[in-house]
């Protein structure tokens, strides 16, 4: 799978809620081995939607990381490094943890994506963010 889509069930948003739609999309990307885990957190660290394969990324740890990264973005703003959009952490094995920041329904959120080694992520994360924004308009 190279493209993210919510087109399987256009009525799914109304019937099951945005969280279920997001988690189904996250599951599809993770099950296709494009990512190991995908989480969407509010600025306060509340999980909005999440999916991981084999408990790869612990939700409690992800909450802490999300909150920490939001604080880091606020620190950047104070130091005139405003509008930080993404923070990427890469380990020695080339796995990446990507934190993408944007507004969703008027509140700051962090999309956290765990990327396997030697996998590209930016295009898919951009598509995923765009589809999340489309849910706001439904």
Q: What pLDDT sits at residue 69?
A: 80
Q: State which H helix or E strand residue 36 sits in.
A: none
Q: What is the CA radius of gyration of the chain?
A: 15
Q: Which residues of the chain have pLDDT under 50?
A: 1-2, 6-15
SS3 30: helix
Q: What pLDDT sits at residue 23?
A: 92
Q: What pLDDT sits at residue 66?
A: 77
- Do 52 and 67 touch, CB atoms closer than 8 A? no
Instruction: Give φ, ψ of 96 to 5 degrees.
Output: -120, 150
Q: What pLDDT sits at residue 123?
A: 94
CA distances in angstroms from 121 to 3, 38, 45, listed in the order given? 12, 12, 23
Q: Which residues, including other chains, have CB under 8 Å from residue 32's CB and lie 6 or more apart?
A: 1
pTM: 0.80
Indicate the domain borders of the chain.
12-136
Q: What pLDDT sits at residue 108?
A: 86
Count of Cβ atoms closer than 10 Å to residue 2 Cβ: 8
Q: What pLDDT sits at residue 9?
A: 41
Q: CA-CA distance, 137 to 41, in Å (whole number)?
A: 19
CATH code of the domain occupying 12-136 = 3.30.450.30
């Amino acid at each position: 799978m190279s493209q993210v889509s919510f087109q399987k069930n256009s009525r799914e948003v109304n019937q099951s809620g945005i969280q279920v739609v997001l988690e189904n999309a996250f599951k599809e990307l993770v099950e296709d081995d494009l990512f190991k885990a995908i989480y969407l957190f509010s600025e306060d660290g509340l999980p909005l939607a999440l999916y991981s394969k084999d408990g790869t990324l612990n939700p409690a740890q992800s909450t802490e990381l999300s909150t920490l990264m939001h604080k880091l973005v606020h620190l950047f703003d104070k130091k005139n490094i405003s509008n930080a959009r993404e923070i990427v952490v890469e380990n020695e094995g080339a796995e990446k943890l990507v934190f993408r920041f944007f507004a969703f329904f008027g509140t700051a959120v962090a999309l956290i994506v765990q990327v396997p080694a030697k996998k590209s992520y930016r295009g898919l994360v951009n598509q995923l963010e765009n589809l999340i924004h489309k849910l706001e308009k439904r």
